[in-house]
Amino acid sequence: MEPQPQTWYEKGCKAEENGQPGLALECYQKFLAAYERGAFSGDDELAVGTYINAGVLLSEQGQDQEACRYHDRAIELKPDFAIAWLNRSIAYTGLGLFDKALTDAFKAIALDPEYIDSQRMLAQIYIYGYRDFAAALKQLEKVSELDVNCGEAYFLRGEALLGLGQTEQALCNFRDALVMGLPTRDLELEAREHCRRLAPEYYQTWDETVAELDPLSSTERRPYDMVSAFLGRI
């Protein structure tokens, strides 16, 4: 007997919790297929969230084009949902479509100016998409207004200052990012690596740790990899 559509959704959530993204995506897709067939008088809000979840999982697998299609549908169902616009912005960044990513980030901010992830996303697009470091620094002022202790904001400020050649200030911000805390190991390693390069006399002891834990340097990462490291699962 075929499971009820909501059961597929629940199975998908459980698979995500258990670290099984492939299975989670498969379950979400079955739920959404049933929703689109009209197989149940489902909750549109639940469908929107599922489209976004599936889109995020697709982006994490490098399938950003397909992810955009899922986020398109989420936006069609709920055009005033900032998170849907933000996640499509992330997918566009993965495709290198920075103009579209910028437009969606602005839309997400217009819908919910207090949502810090959208404000931070805009700064990331300025840095990694356009290398407009001055615009990024201005945008990060807004991020800090929302959360003065945001470690990611300090990290991004360090990246922007580094791009402007202001190495001493960049170093201070990378240090502050480590003090404030960063949400992923990748970002912590990036911050430590920056500190090591900018002040090797103080940070030589980090060399072995960074090489052992993360041999992939930041120069080898796609812009999306940096963005996903900041935002993670929405």
The reply to whether 94 and 152 lie within a common domain is no
* Shared domain check, 6 and 69: yes
- The predicted pLDDT at position 160 comes to 98
CA dist., res. 35 & res. 6, Å (int): 10
Total of domains in the chain: 2
> Do 171 and 227 reside in the same domain of the chain?
yes
Look up residue 202 and give its two tokens. 């103080």
Question: Is the same domain home to 173 and 108?
Answer: no
Dihedral angle computed from the Cα positions of residues 11, 17, 20 and 21, in that order, rounded to the nearest 10 degrees: 90
CB 74 within 8 A of CB 48: yes
According to the model, what pLDDT value does residue 203 have? 64
Could you identify the residue written with the tokens 């059961």?
7
Does one domain contain both 92 and 39? yes
Q: What is the pTM of this model?
A: 0.84
Q: Are residues 76 and 102 in the same domain?
A: yes
181 dihedral zone (left: phi>0; alpha: psi -120 to 50; beta): left
Give me the pLDDT at residue 6, please: 80
Q: Is 52 helix (H, G, I), strand (E, B) or coil?
A: helix
Co-location of 85 and 162 in the same domain: no
Residue 91, domain extent: 1-113
Provide CB contacts within 8 A for 161, sequence distance 6+: 133, 137, 167, 169, 170, 173
- pLDDT per residue rounded down to tens, the chain (234 residues): 456 778 899 999 999 999 999 999 999 999 999 999 887 766 789 999 999 999 999 999 999 999 999 999 999 999 999 999 999 999 999 999 999 999 999 999 999 999 999 999 999 999 999 999 999 999 999 999 999 999 999 999 999 999 999 999 999 999 999 999 999 999 999 999 999 899 887 766 554 444 444 444 444 444 445 454 444 443
Sign of the alpha-carbon dihedral angle for 65, 23, 56, 150: negative
Domain boundary among 94, 113, 132: 113
Task: Give the domain-ending residue among 74, 89, 113.
Answer: 113
Name the 3-class secondary structure at 79: coil
Is residue 21 located within the same domain as residue 39?
yes
How far is the first Cα of the chain from the last one, in angstroms, to the nearest whole number?
Answer: 33
- 24 and 66 in one domain? yes
> What is the CATH number for 79?
1.25.40.10
Q: How confident is the model at residue 82, as a pLDDT? A: 97
Q: Collapsing DSSP states into helix, strand and coil, what is residue 102?
A: helix
